[in-house]
Amino acid sequence: MKENKQPLTTLSQQEQERYDRQVSIKGFGRKRQLKLKKARIIVAGIGGVGSSASMYLAVAGIGSLTVIDSGEVELSNLNRQILHWEKNLGTSKALSAATKLKQLNPDIEVTAREESITEDSVLKLLEGTDGVIDCLDNFPSRYILNDAALKLGVPVFHAACSGFEVRATTIIPGVTPCLRCLYPRELHQAKVPILGSIAGMAGNIATTEAIKLIAGLEPTLKNRLLIYDGLHLRYNLVNISRNPDCLFCKGVRTNEG
């Protein structure tokens, strides 16, 4: 993929025009846009949640995006995984996503990693990143991501969905509960039924949280779990706290200054 060769200290004329409608949000401004431009974000899992998360990160102008997925596009993915189209069936999800993200915003750098999140690879994948969107579909991989992010002090924007329900939280190492505090045991996940618009919403919530944190605004889901019920259009913001006995985040200190 073509690298972003533009200077990170200024916005080009084209960038000013591209991002005008978000830069002009009260309290946002060019300085916050430049923070997005300098940011490196990983989207772990490019399924239904990862599709919308990565698309909105790309169009918002996150300077460097890495998409990780070892899977290939299947027909049963297409009700929700909107970055993958019928012509992509049987091809790499990471490449399918990266190709379109680059077309969505040629000003950013997009890297495709066709691999799984494993204990052997995760630290290297996460090193130097400003945040990771957890759009994975299984608990063993989510735990591996959580544990590595705690070690490196990388914020994790966790998003999950099932049926009409979204659950999301923002994990800041040393500040908030980690995924293991929240879910000490793996939830059984066979084939999860899911509506595409709900998966999209999960991704959008995580991406909005990531953009806020990167831009220097307060993430709303810090120490809170959002439970959204799309069937009845109801949501709950549940206060959550660290488990002092959690073996994984005990002793982890914050990078926040």
Shortest reach from residue 241's CB to Zn ion, in Å: 10
**Which CB atom, from 178 or from 215, has the smaller least distance to Zn ion?**
178
DSSP E strand stretches across the chain = 40-44, 64-68, 109-113, 131-134, 156-162, 165-171, 224-229, 234-239
Which region holds residue 128: left if phi is over 0, alpha if psi is between -120 and 50, else beta?
Answer: left
Closest to Zn ion by CB, 28 or 183: 183
Tell me if 58 sits within 8 A of 1, measured CB to CB: no
Binding letters toward Zn ion, positions 36-75, x by CB under 5 A: ----------------------------------------
Q: Which strand ranges, in their side-by-side order, compose the sheet holding 165-171?
A: 109-113, 64-68, 40-44, 131-134, 156-162, 165-171, 224-229, 234-239
x-marked contacts with Zn ion along 167-206 as a string, rule CB under 5 A = -----------x-xx-------------------------
Decide whether 40 or 180 has the Cβ nearer to Zn ion. 180
Which tokens hold the place of 165?
């329900």
Give the residue carrying structure tokens 């490449």: 95
Question: Closest approach of Cβ 144 to Zn ion, in Å?
Answer: 14
Q: Is 158 in the site for Zn ion (CB under 5 A)?
A: no
CB 100, min distance to Zn ion, A: 35
Distance CA 150, CA 250 (A): 10
Q: Which is nearer to Zn ion, 77 or 141 (CB)?
A: 141
Q: Which is nearer to Zn ion, 156 or 206 (by Cβ)?
A: 156
Q: Least distance to Zn ion from the beta carbon of 193, Å?
A: 29
Closer CB to Zn ion, residue 89 or residue 240? 240
The Cα–Cα gap between 187 and 179 comes to 12
Single-letter amino acid code for the residue at 53: A
List the interface residues with Zn ion, window 236-255 (CB under 5 A): 246, 248-249
Shortest reach from residue 243's CB to Zn ion, in Å: 6
Site for Zn ion in 110-129 (CB under 5 A): none
Amino acid at 28: F
Binding interface with Zn ion (CB under 5 A): 178, 180-181, 246, 248-249
